[in-house]
Structure formats: structure tokens, C-alpha cells
């Protein structure tokens, strides 16, 4: 992974866009990592993975709730009680 300063990123943005197609580019400001420039393909891959992980988590929680007797009707009732 390549690291550049914020100043260098401003000066060489076009070149960094090209570099990000090969590997993520970390942008540093005052010796701290503040951003990462990555290709659209890498971004979509990360996004899809996060969505998949969230869906698996939600499915596990839903299965546990069903095992404990939570039904759609009970859930609606609980949610309505919170509005009162």
C-alpha cells in the first residue's frame, strides 16, 4: 500500500487515481492517515462483502429471536408499545 502526504495528493491527484487502480493509496496529513483512495472495483468488493456480512448477522439474530418465540405479530406489538 502506498502512502502520500495530503500536499502530494493535491499536486499529483491524476497520477494517484492511476495508482489506485493497482493498489490503495493512503493519504496522510500531519503524520496521521486521514483517507484512502481506492479503485471503484475495490470499493464495490468491500461494499458487497459488508452487505453480505450484515445480512448473515441479521439472519442469525432473526433465527435466535424466532427460536425464543418472537413472531412478526409480537414484534409489531413491541414496536407499537414504544410509540406510546
CB 19 within 8 A of CB 4: no
**Element housing 17 (H / E):** helix 13-20
The CA distance from 52 to 36, in Å, is: 22
Phi, psi of 32 (to 5 degrees): -125, 140
Three-class SS state of 71? coil
Return the number of other C-beta atoms located less than 10 Å from residue 9's C-beta.
19
4-17 per-position pLDDT tens digit: 999 999 999 999 99
* pTM of the entire predicted model: 0.65
pLDDT of 30-81, one tens digit each? Answer: 999 999 999 999 999 999 999 999 999 999 999 999 999 999 999 898 898 7
Amino acid at each position: 500500500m502506498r502512502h502520500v502526504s495530503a500536499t502530494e495528493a493535491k499536486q499529483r491527484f491524476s497520477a494517484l487515481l492511476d495508482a489506485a487502480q493497482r493498489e490503495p493509496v493512503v493519504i496522510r496529513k500531519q503524520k496521521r492517515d486521514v483517507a484512502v483512495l481506492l479503485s471503484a472495483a475495490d470499493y464495490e468488493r468491500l461494499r458487497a462483502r459488508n452487505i453480505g456480512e450484515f445480512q448473515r448477522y441479521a439472519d442469525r439474530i432473526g433465527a435466535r429471536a424466532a427460536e425464543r418465540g418472537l413472531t412478526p405479530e409480537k414484534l409489531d406489538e413491541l414496536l407499537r408499545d414504544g410509540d406510546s
